[in-house]
Amino acid sequence: MAEQNKQKKQVEEITSMEEDFAQWYTDVVKKAELVEYTSVKGCMVIRPYGYAIWENIQRILDGMFKATGHENVYMPLFIPESLLEKEKDHVAGFAPEVAWVTHGGKEPLEERLCVRPTSETLFCEHYAHIIQSHRDLPKLYNQWVSVVRWEKTTRPFLRTREFLWQEGHTCHATAEEAWEETRRMLDVYATFAEESLAIPVIKGPKTESDKFAGAVSTLAIEALMHDGKALQAGTSHYFGDGFAKAFGIQYTNKENTLTYPHQTSWGVSTRIIGAIIMTHGDDNGLVLPPAVAPVQVVVIPVAAHKPGVLEAARALTERLNGFARAKMDDSDNSPGWKFAQYEMKGVPLRLELGPRDIEQGQCVLVRRDSGEKITVPLAELETVIPAQLKALHDALYQKALANRASHTYRCTSLEQIQQALRTQGDGFVYAMWCGDEACEDAVKEATGVGSRCIPFEQEQVAETCVCCGKPAKHMVCWAVAY
Amino acid sequence: MAEQNKQKKQVEEITSMEEDFAQWYTDVVKKAELVEYTSVKGCMVIRPYGYAIWENIQRILDGMFKATGHENVYMPLFIPESLLEKEKDHVAGFAPEVAWVTHGGKEPLEERLCVRPTSETLFCEHYAHIIQSHRDLPKLYNQWVSVVRWEKTTRPFLRTREFLWQEGHTCHATAEEAWEETRRMLDVYATFAEESLAIPVIKGPKTESDKFAGAVSTLAIEALMHDGKALQAGTSHYFGDGFAKAFGIQYTNKENTLTYPHQTSWGVSTRIIGAIIMTHGDDNGLVLPPAVAPVQVVVIPVAAHKPGVLEAARALTERLNGFARAKMDDSDNSPGWKFAQYEMKGVPLRLELGPRDIEQGQCVLVRRDSGEKITVPLAELETVIPAQLKALHDALYQKALANRASHTYRCTSLEQIQQALRTQGDGFVYAMWCGDEACEDAVKEATGVGSRCIPFEQEQVAETCVCCGKPAKHMVCWAVAY
């Protein structure tokens, strides 16, 4: 009974999703020990368990970047004000939200330096130094760094003044190549979201009003969270030759003519951990997709004081580590407390091993997503565990897909949008748009949903704009967004 | 002849070490494409080839940290001024050289934030939050980040206003455990330097005057560069409970008493890339130890236009990638140009493959360190290449060790020190010291060498202090330092 009480106590500490989704989120990031607050307002400590998720994300994405020919570099943390100002749309977009360094030691600086909010300007300066000939192209660079944007209101992972990300910056001989790269990296992100994070995404360009500062076009992947709000999980920008012109990047082409190259940039940040939490989590806490789970299988010895149990559990854990990320918890907490603890932390599989199991050459495997318990012969773990991890991934994906399907509303009038949101809750609204920014604003004003992207996979929901009734140009995916 | 000229031209572009070692260094970091300068004074771009060395260093060290039970975290980039000021020695040491953020967007900040020069204060604040009981100890944390110190004069890798490093921060129940950790991590660094970088190091504590700001004791590994100057390649600090007291970190011990824990921190930075360059480099450029070389074997097709050569070279490269980091250069540059280029870049092994080689089932392998050429049957590459990489590592280590031996001077008077340095060049001076800071200063004043560390491996060079003639306490390793 004591065990059960402890277990209950632990679980009771998080607010239920239905009751208060925002509080549930805050509880999960704290109780699962992903982050801790600091005295630096808007910045967070990413704790070992949270950082291990990020390391897995990095490892997988970095492998995908390298497989597509990209190289990692490191650019300075600081950008001189005059450098930031070289591309006028870019500075207009970022200057209001940067942190300024004004003093080095006791000396005031001759020129203020901003702490990078993004590094287009530094990459451009570097490209202007190192690119002379068509032989120098393409340059396919990426960096893993932290960036700073002085946000007013912040939430762990979702919006913080400092966040970790990768930023790819590439330079190409032609517009076609640069555009191809922009699409390729969006596809890399979508593949990663779906195949590694089990998060289904919608791909498409942003509208003009929502583009990255300085971009010709911004492509995004948009995911739907459990509460029906949208989260932009990655962006890929096509710059044309605008930055090249602003920064004087020129190369001699094969015809010996001085030419401006075409550029892209693309990024995914620690924000995506917020997407994992809000796509898969439940009232017992985090649910982690196996590909990025720091621990894929937690081994819990049952009746650990009985002779041979701990030794067997230890040996089994070592064996599991040959093909999965496994960990044994041999602390003196009760099994019940441990069950709740690793549920909170979203560990995909729990393996229970007690004296009777050992006798019978079996163990109990419990799925984090469904709670399903199966008894598995120990000899079969090499096949059963990978199969269960894959099945769990697939189940998470299908569940997220079903949630999205049941919260995607095809609407042909503002009233329909209002009613769908009121009766069925927040979600993706698919509705037609004439392309006029005034209508985009009016939809938001009237219904609360903003344009997320213009999905590549278009549907002909209607012939006319949901707002003004003029001929429609696109179907837009609208939503309330994080 | 054209080939040879090109090759010469390339090589002539770097200054010889004998002529001007500092210029040689600058030439190498630029020509080997490790770094590029930026408009941010004192900061550098680490280019793909330089960053790939750092990635290898990270991978190996991170594995060693994890094998010794450490976990990675991420702390904020910023430290509020009031937090930095909590430990008085620490702030006195760092405040004069930090960059200050004073504005977020257009708003002046209520409190200045410094860009982290090191993160003891942030870790301590976090530890105060998360440590309550002896069950919470030890905490063995590390982070891979960039830090900023507003240096007046800077040189790539050796001293830059921003540099990349890892900083370990640990918290232990007892002084003994913390001291053991301090020693353990110094040993990890020494093992890494010797076994992965082929750099022999001297281990020992710093003198009082040279300790880390806030430390009870600072241990260091010191390496001797080709020019006879010392480079501190890693440090490990023992803090006692000083930081714990300043930051109010307390835990309840097994006897239920509130107790201060004991702490350590330890770091290795991109500076160590400077040590690699200056330990192993030569007049043809960089020489990279195989463990961290981005490319271990470069495959150069000879007479690449002849049928079958490129295909054979490509297939061979793929095969080599099964057990080494191999790359083929099939660009239309001449083989001679390529030879010089990859010598400049310090690639450990060059593999030449031409039509005749293919016919005879062999290739030519050229060692970067010795220039030695051997003809190897293609069937034996799986054993010969790993063996040659190991032999090259060992040769680099032995060469560095011999250089250190021939530039280590055991001296019993200031005159002997002066004469050794004048006649044999800069190097390590082993001389006795009474422990008095005035003598330490006087040695530096008279001879130019400062105390580097008090080697754990002591020798009884004399009975008395090299400076004042009083009874000696220690043998100190003195040198001019980077």
In a domain, B111, yes or no: yes
Q: What is the pLDDT of residue A304?
A: 87
My answer on whether A60 and A137 are in the same domain is: yes
My answer on whether B198 and B123 are in the same domain is: yes
Both tokens of A304, joined, read 């650990």
Domain that holds residue A471: 408-479
Type of residue found at B319? R
Query: Touching check for B99 and chain A: CB below 8 Å?
Result: yes
Q: Do A75 and B106 lie within an 8 Å CB cutoff?
A: no
Q: Do B74 and A164 lie within an 8 Å CB cutoff?
A: yes
- Residues of chain B in contact with residue A75, where contact means CB-CB under 8 angstroms, are 38, 45
The shortest C-alpha distance from A73 to chain B (Å) reads 5
Regarding beta strands B408-410 and B428-433, do their DSSP bridges make them parallel or antiparallel, or are they unpaired? parallel
Rounded distance, CA A112 to CA A102, Å? 5
Q: Do B102 and A100 lie within an 8 Å CB cutoff?
A: yes
Please list the helix, strand and coil fractions of chain B in percent, rounded to the nearest 5, in that order.
40, 30, 35
The shortest C-alpha distance from A267 to chain B (Å) reads 18
Q: Do B71 and A83 lie within an 8 Å CB cutoff?
A: no
Determine the average pLDDT of the residues in B209-229: 96
- Residues of chain A in contact with residue B73, where contact means CB-CB under 8 angstroms, are 45-48, 51
Is the preceding peptide bond at A138 cis, omega within 30 degrees of 0?
yes
Query: Touching check for B150 and chain A: CB below 8 Å?
Result: yes
The alpha carbons of chain A give a radius of gyration, in whole angstroms, of: 25
My answer on whether A373 and A449 are in the same domain is: no
- Residues of chain B in contact with residue A43, where contact means CB-CB under 8 angstroms, are 76-78
- Residues of chain A in contact with residue B79, where contact means CB-CB under 8 angstroms, are 40
Rounded distance, CA A200 to CA A406, Å? 14
Q: Is the pLDDT score of B8 beyond 60?
A: no
My answer on whether B341 and B446 are in the same domain is: no
Domain CATH for B243: 3.30.930.10
Chain A, nearest residue to B140 by Cα: A48
My answer on whether B238 and B93 are in the same domain is: yes
In a domain, B7, yes or no: no
The shortest C-alpha distance from A438 to chain B (Å) reads 29
Rounded distance, CA B344 to CA A164, Å? 35
The shortest C-alpha distance from B9 to chain A (Å) reads 20
ipTM: 0.95
Mean pLDDT score of chain B, rounded to an integer? Answer: 95
The shortest C-alpha distance from A432 to chain B (Å) reads 37
The tens digit of pLDDT for each residue in B418-474 reads: 999 999 999 999 999 999 999 999 999 999 999 999 999 999 999 999 999 999 999
Both tokens of A264, joined, read 């892209």
Domain boundary among A245, A280, A315: A280
Chain B, nearest residue to A95 by Cα: B105
> Distance from first CA to last CA of chain A, Å, rounded?
42
Task: Report yes or no: B157 and B28 within 8 Å, Cβ to Cβ.
Answer: no
Determine the average pLDDT of the residues in B136-142: 98
In a domain, B397, yes or no: no
My answer on whether B158 and B226 are in the same domain is: yes
Q: Is the pLDDT score of B95 beyond 90?
A: no
Chain A, nearest residue to B333 by Cα: A135
For residue B262, the number of C-alpha atoms closer than 13 Å in the C-beta half-sphere is: 15
**What are the two backbone dihedrals, phi and then psi, of residue A249, each rounded to the nearest 5 degrees?**
-90, 120
Domain boundary among A327, A357, A391: A391
The shortest C-alpha distance from A382 to chain B (Å) reads 24
Domain CATH for A468: 3.30.110.30
Q: What is the pLDDT of residue A337?
A: 94
Q: What is the pLDDT of residue B12?
A: 54
Q: Do A102 and B100 lie within an 8 Å CB cutoff?
A: yes
My answer on whether B320 and B416 are in the same domain is: no
Rounded distance, CA B58 to CA B142, Å? 12
Which DSSP category does A362 fall into?
Answer: E
Task: Report yes or no: A262 and A172 within 8 Å, Cβ to Cβ.
Answer: yes
The tens digit of pLDDT for each residue in B252-295 reads: 999 999 999 999 999 999 999 999 999 999 999 999 999 999 99
In a domain, B419, yes or no: yes
Q: Is B308 left (phi over 0), alpha (psi -120 to 50) or beta?
A: left
- Residues of chain A in contact with residue B95, where contact means CB-CB under 8 angstroms, are 105
Q: Which of A216, A165, A156 is nearest to A30 (CA)?
A: A156
Query: Touching check for A470 and chain B: CB below 8 Å?
Result: no
Q: Do A100 and B97 lie within an 8 Å CB cutoff?
A: no
Q: Do A76 and B44 lie within an 8 Å CB cutoff?
A: yes
My answer on whether B386 and B470 are in the same domain is: no
Query: Touching check for A127 and chain B: CB below 8 Å?
Result: no
Q: What is the pLDDT of residue A12?
A: 54
Domain CATH for B383: 3.40.50.800
Rounded distance, CA B291 to CA B288, Å? 8
In a domain, A148, yes or no: yes
State the total domains in chain A: 3
Is the preceding peptide bond at A117 cis, omega within 30 degrees of 0?
no
- Mutant choice from B62, B71, B101 vs A, greatest count of A C-beta within 10 A: B101
In a domain, B170, yes or no: yes
Query: Touching check for B114 and chain A: CB below 8 Å?
Result: no
- Residues of chain B in contact with residue A72, where contact means CB-CB under 8 angstroms, are 48, 51-52, 55
Task: Name the stretches of chain A with pLDDT < 50.
Answer: 1-11
CB contact set of A227 (below 8 Å; sequence gap of 6+): A17, A21, A278, A425, A426
The shortest C-alpha distance from B12 to chain A (Å) reads 21
Domain boundary among A255, A280, A305: A280
Query: Touching check for A98 and chain B: CB below 8 Å?
Result: yes
Both tokens of B209, joined, read 């005057």
**What are the two backbone dihedrals, phi and then psi, of residue B331, each rounded to the nearest 5 degrees?**
-65, 170
- Collapsing DSSP to helix, strand or coil, A341 comes out as helix
Q: Do A76 and B100 lie within an 8 Å CB cutoff?
A: no
Q: What is the pLDDT of residue B130?
A: 97
The shortest C-alpha distance from A202 to chain B (Å) reads 31
- Residues of chain A in contact with residue B162, where contact means CB-CB under 8 angstroms, are 76-78
Show which of residues 12-41 on chain B sit within 8 Å of chain A, judged by CB atoms: 36, 38-40
My answer on whether A270 and A377 are in the same domain is: no
Q: What is the pLDDT of residue B13?
A: 81
Task: Report yes or no: A368 and A344 within 8 Å, Cβ to Cβ.
Answer: no
Q: Do A99 and B103 lie within an 8 Å CB cutoff?
A: yes
- Collapsing DSSP to helix, strand or coil, A169 comes out as strand
Type of residue found at A108? P
Determine the average pLDDT of the residues in B330-336: 92
Q: What is the pLDDT of residue A62?
A: 98
Instruction: Find the length of chain B.
Output: 482
My answer on whether A275 and A302 are in the same domain is: no
Alpha helices in B78-144 (DSSP H): 81-84, 88-94, 120-130
My answer on whether B182 and B240 are in the same domain is: yes
Q: Do B104 and A99 lie within an 8 Å CB cutoff?
A: yes
Type of residue found at A15? T
My answer on whether B25 and B166 are in the same domain is: yes
Whole-model pTM: value is: 0.96
Q: Do A125 and B72 lie within an 8 Å CB cutoff?
A: no
In a domain, A289, yes or no: no
Residue B422: other Cβ atoms inside 10 A: 9
Task: Report yes or no: A190 and A235 within 8 Å, Cβ to Cβ.
Answer: no
For residue B61, the number of C-alpha atoms closer than 13 Å in the C-beta half-sphere is: 31
Determine the average pLDDT of the residues in B350-363: 97
CA B271 to centroid of chain Cα atoms: 5
Confidence of residue B6 (pLDDT cuts 50, 70, 90): very low
CA separation, residue A14 to residues A25, A284, A399, A460 (Å): 9, 8, 22, 43
Q: Do B72 and A52 lie within an 8 Å CB cutoff?
A: yes
In a domain, B28, yes or no: yes
